[in-house]
């Protein structure tokens, strides 16, 4: 696990965007795993800037989103389809057919989830998965108690997550109870994981994820088992880490040959 602590969300997001840009330049047909929520906003803005100002080309990139609410049509303002169109896809040149987001209206959810897994395999697997973290440690929508080996499937949101996400809906009771999410096992097969977390509200979850005991009760702890996981934090999100000074020293003193930014 590499813990990268920046002064603010914007600088952290620029570092994460550079990692993605480097991958896309080396491998133009890269498969990206994408996430939603407030956290990746600056990351998408920086990727859009790189596309528009520097010609970063996404024309062969394939994408798979982590999750979607069940019951919301793609054009619902709070759907993750809408989020992705508004915050990223409409401003870059990823062909529509290369974009995959779970279908919240699938009539047969189990078959849809199996097909989603198959589509990831057919694409050659995910090269780099962007992740956020819920205040309870969830990744994607894998709530505490999710099997650490789980695959794409239906999940039921906890009351806490529905409350956290109520800001995207007109009324709190409008937040769906059910979602489709890539499983933790699915996420762990990505070749690289880049988790972003900003703000004091994430400090406890981040502390557990990076330095706590691995447990399904805090799904993000599973990243400790991944051979190439990068954790991009701002200072407040890093504030509960015991080894904070060590992580900073490591990052500032990386040998030049090892730097990937
Ligand atoms: C939702 C998403 C997660 C995201 C989390 C944190 O639950 N399904 O993928 O990481 O929210 O969201 P935010 O970035 O808004 O704090």
Nearest alpha carbon to residue 227 among 190, 196, 253, 202 = 190
* 131 has pLDDT over 80: yes
Distance from residue 131's CA to the centre of ligand 1 (Å): 8
Q: Would residue 255 count as lying in a domain?
A: no
Distance from residue 37's CA to the centre of ligand 1 (Å): 4
pLDDT of residue 111: 98
pLDDT of residue 256: 84
Using one digit for the tens of pLDDT, what is the confidence trace for 55-71? 999 999 999 999 999 99
Cα–Cα dist 92/243, whole Å: 38
Q: Would residue 246 count as lying in a domain?
A: no
Q: Would residue 240 count as lying in a domain?
A: no
> Is 226 assigned a catalytic role?
no
Mean pLDDT, the chain, whole residue set: 96
Q: Would residue 175 count as lying in a domain?
A: yes
* Across 30-39, 67-76, 249-258, least confident range: 249-258
pLDDT of residue 25: 97
pLDDT of residue 185: 98
**Per-residue exposure over 230-248, b if at least 16 CB sit within 10 Å of its own CB, e if not:** bbbbbbbbbbbbeebeebb
Using one digit for the tens of pLDDT, what is the confidence trace for 163-197? 999 999 989 999 999 999 999 999 999 999 999 99
> Is 242 assigned a catalytic role?
no
Which candidate in 42, 46, 67, 117 is catalytic?
67
- CATH number, domain containing residue 67: 3.40.50.1360
Residue range 155-159: average pLDDT?
A: 97
* 130 has pLDDT over 70: yes
Q: Would residue 250 count as lying in a domain?
A: no
Percentage of the chain beyond pLDDT 70 is 99
Nearest alpha carbon to residue 22 among 54, 52, 45, 63 = 54
Q: Which residue's alpha carbon is at the smallest distance from atom 1 of ligand 1?
A: 37
Q: Would residue 141 count as lying in a domain?
A: yes
**How many other C-beta atoms are found inside a 10 Å radius of the C-beta of residue 215?**
14
Q: Would residue 93 count as lying in a domain?
A: yes
Residue range 84-91: average pLDDT?
A: 98
Q: Would residue 16 count as lying in a domain?
A: yes
> Is 174 assigned a catalytic role?
no
pLDDT of residue 184: 98
pLDDT of residue 260: 64
Q: Considering its fold, how many domains does the chain have in total?
A: 1
Which candidate in 100, 112, 138, 226 is catalytic?
138
> Is 67 assigned a catalytic role?
yes
Domain that residue 156 falls in: 2-232
pLDDT of residue 194: 98
């Amino acid at each position: 696990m590499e813990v990268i602590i920046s002064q603010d969300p914007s600088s952290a997001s620029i570092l994460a965007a550079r990692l993605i840009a480097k991958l896309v330049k080396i491998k133009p047909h890269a498969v990206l795993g994408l996430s939603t929520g407030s956290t990746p906003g600056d990351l998408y803005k920086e990727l859009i800037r790189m596309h528009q100002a520097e010609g970063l080309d996404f024309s062969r990139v394939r994408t798979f989103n982590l999750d979607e609410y069940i019951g919301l049509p793609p054009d619902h303002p709070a759907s993750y389809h809408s989020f992705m169109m508004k915050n990223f896809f409409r401003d870059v040149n990823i062909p529509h057919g290369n974009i995959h987001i779970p279908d919240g209206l699938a009539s047969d959810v189990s078959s849809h989830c199996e097909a989603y897994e198959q589509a990831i395999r057919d694409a050659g697997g995910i090269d780099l998965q962007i992740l956020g973290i819920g205040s309870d440690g969830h990744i994607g929508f894998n709530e505490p108690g999710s099997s650490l080996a789980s695959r794409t499937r239906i999940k039921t949101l906890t009351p806490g997550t529905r409350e956290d996400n109520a800001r995207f809906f007109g009324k709190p009771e409008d937040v769906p109870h059910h979602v489709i999410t890539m499983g933790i096992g699915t996420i762990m097969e990505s070749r690289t994981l880049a988790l972003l977390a900003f703000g004091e509200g994430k400090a406890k979850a981040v502390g557990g994820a990076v330095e706590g005991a691995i447990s399904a009760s805090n799904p993000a702890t599973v990243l400790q088992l991944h051979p190439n996981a990068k954790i991009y934090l701002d200072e407040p999100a890093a504030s509960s880490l015991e080894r904070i000074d060590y992580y900073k020293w490591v990052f500032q003193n990386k040998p030049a040959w090892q730097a990937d930014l």
